Structure 1
Amino acid sequence: MTDTTAPLLSRLSLNQETVRQWSLPELADGCARAGLRGVGLWRAPVRAYGVAAAARLVRDAGLAVTSLCRGGFFTAEDPGERQAALADNRAAIDEAAALGTATLVLVSGGLPPGSRDLPGARERVADALAELAPYATERGVRLALEPLHPMYAADRCVVSTLAQALDLAERFPADRVGVVVDTYHLWWDDTVGSQLARAGATDTATGAAGPSSRIAAFQLADWVTPLPAGVLLGRGQLGDGAVDLRWFRERVDAAGYRGPIEVEIFNPSLWSRDGTEVLAEVVARFLRHVR
């Protein structure tokens, strides 16, 4: 029997938000000590530390930045707000390039105040991708559009399903725009299996065949109930909820994805604990429920 523990574990990346209680130096040191090879970072703490300094810190710890979160919020109708969003996303692309990651995670944005026009909002997302993709490509960064659970559609993300994300991404070459597969947001959708297969199929924008043509990032968290009042902070530790995490991993692998697997959990109960303990638990749960 082939032991798959080592190669799968080598793909494990810890997203910074899972251990928010750690400073950036603590994150780099803790992940290096645990034998991880990657970390997913967020813009606000990176900017507070200094982008160049953060890049050196992570590199010196022997780690790779697997993704930077987040850009996006493209749905404003006001021209001034739209230009400000595009400028902020160019800055995010520059930060991703400086950190050495090829993946910038994008959250599309919700409906503008007073609007009920979901199709129009999604078209503004497509327009923003068209404007930003050449800029990102010149800097070696791939735009990764993340669909969020439908409960976020009104105020945070009008892209709710993997199918909707692929519909937008496939307007562009696969090396420019991909999608994020996050188990917390997609576990409920009975079409997600066929959409994962679609994500690994021929690149419809160029006609080029190849595995993993669209999956730019793969993130894990569980869905637990009851949801807290602040649903953003309701992600569960791996194995504590309703998501078949191994099923997702197997189908993402079948779609040709061989990249990092980030554990991204927003949960105050984890943030109140010792970070080293949390990371050890993440590794154990990853091997139990994902392998």
Structure 2
Amino acid sequence: MSSLQSLDRLSLNQITINRWSVREAAEGCARAGVPSIALWRDKVSAAGLAESRRIVDAHGLQVSSLCRGGMFPAATAAERQLRIDDNRRAVEEAAALGTDVLVLVCGPAPDRDIAGARSMVEEGIAKVADYAKSCGVKLGIEPLHPMYAAERSVVNTLKQANQIARQFPADQVGVIVDVFHVWWDPELYEEIRGAAGRILGFHVSDWIVPTPDMLLGRGMMGDGVIDIRSIRHAVEATGYQGPIEVEIFNQAIWNQPGDDVLATMQARYLEHV
């Protein structure tokens, strides 16, 4: 398999041009010929759910996913229930936006008990999965790099995500493969093969050396050390042919004109993905 020859599968993850509203992002994608967009709940909330759907439809865009659900662990049962309720709302939002993928960033431990927090993640997904299926939405567990374990997610490897996902039917729960989070893992290719039939999304960016910031340090494809194409080939070998989202958290990129970011993103996608 070689490089991608078209932009047919390219999706702009909205965070890549963070200052753009839903309308601005949709207009930008339409100008640039980017066919899909991944929306974030805060941006959707600002625009309004129905209006967000109207905007993306009016610009001929597909919604590749909604980010984010998850954040299940909490110190009390009451707090955990609130988070489950919020995930149910996120499922409803995903369905209303016309996407069948809700990305889960599973959340940190509320204390030092990381094993207990991982159990809370499993319990939370179990309480949402059937409802999600009834809405036509699948839950995509996104493992985050271990440096985020204390603040963002106790699910840190694709192996962990696979182990959780396999507790549920494949038409309910799967995984998201984000190269920024998993590129370093010596078990990565084995676990990608093991995720066959459950890969719900593929996200690309790059790992810059030296890393400028733990959160806002992702690079544009080709600016770092990740062998993105080999990971894509492995993902596609499982049968995944869905959208490829460019998801970049980087203040320097956020400061650039959005249309310039899109142009660079398209060129790097064709060259490095």
TM tier, smaller: over 0.9
> Partners in 1 of 2:187 and 2:249 — Cα distance?
26
Structure 1 distance, partners of 2:115, 2:69, is 20
8 Å CA contact 2:109, 2:117 repeated in 1:
yes
Match of residue 48 from structure 1 = 46
The one of 156, 159, 163 equivalent to 2:159 is 163
The offset of 1:77, in angstroms, is 3.3
* Deviation of 1:133 (Å): 0.4
1:197-216 to structure 2, matched below 5 A, reads: 197-200=193-196, 213-216=197-200
> Quick one: distance in 1 between partners of 2:210 and 2:2?
39
| Residue equivalent to 1:254 | 237
Q: TM-score, normalised by structure 1?
A: 0.91
Match of 2:68 among 67, 70, 73: 70
How many pairs were matched up?
273
Deviation at 1:153, TM superposition (A): 0.9
Q: Which amino acid counterpart does residue 8 of structure 2 have in structure 1?
A: S
Q: Aligned runs of 1:123-272 on 2, under 5 Å?
A: 123-200=119-196, 213-229=197-213, 231-272=214-255
The percent of aligned pairs where both chains have the same amino acid is 52
SS in structure 1 of the partner of residue 186 of structure 2: coil
- Structure 2 CA distance for aligned equivalents of residues 262 and 3 of structure 1: 16
CA pair 118-2 structure 1, distance change in 2 beyond 3 A:
closer
TM-aligned CA distance change 1:269 to 1:91, over 3 Å:
same
Matches of 1:160 and 1:221, distance apart in 2: 18
Q: Look up the SS of the partner of 1:233 in the other structure.
A: coil
Structure 2 residues not aligned, in runs of 5+: none
* Structure 2 length-normalised TM: 0.97
- How big is the alpha-carbon RMSD for the aligned residues of Structure 1 and Structure 2? 1.4
The answer as to 2:99 corresponding to 1:101 is: yes
**Cα distance in 2 for residues equivalent to 1:133 and 1:24:** 27
One-letter identity of the residue aligned with 2:110: P
Q: Cα deviation per residue 1:84-139 (whole Å; 9 max; x = unaligned)?
A: 101111111111011000000001111113x2x22221111111111100110010
Secondary structure, aligned partner of 2:75? coil
Name the CA distance, whole Å, in 2 between partners of 1:121 and 1:20: 30
Q: Deviations over 1:176-209 (max 9, x none)?
A: 0010100000010011001001111xxxxxxxxx
CA distance in structure 1 between the aligned counterparts of 2:75 and 2:138, rounded to whole angstroms: 25
- Mapped partners of 2:162, 2:191: distance in 1: 8
Q: Deviations over 1:161-184 (max 9, x none)?
A: 000000000000011001010000
Taking the aligned partners of 1:263 and 1:81, their CA distance within structure 2 comes to 33
The match for 1:83 is 81
CA distances 1:33-68 after superposition (whole Å, capped 9, x unpaired): 211210001000110110100001001100011010
Question: Quick one: distance in 1 between partners of 2:261 and 2:83?
Answer: 35
Q: Which runs of 5+ in 1 are unaligned?
A: 201-212
CA distance in 2, matches of 1:256, 1:119: 32
* 3-state SS of 1:5 partner: coil
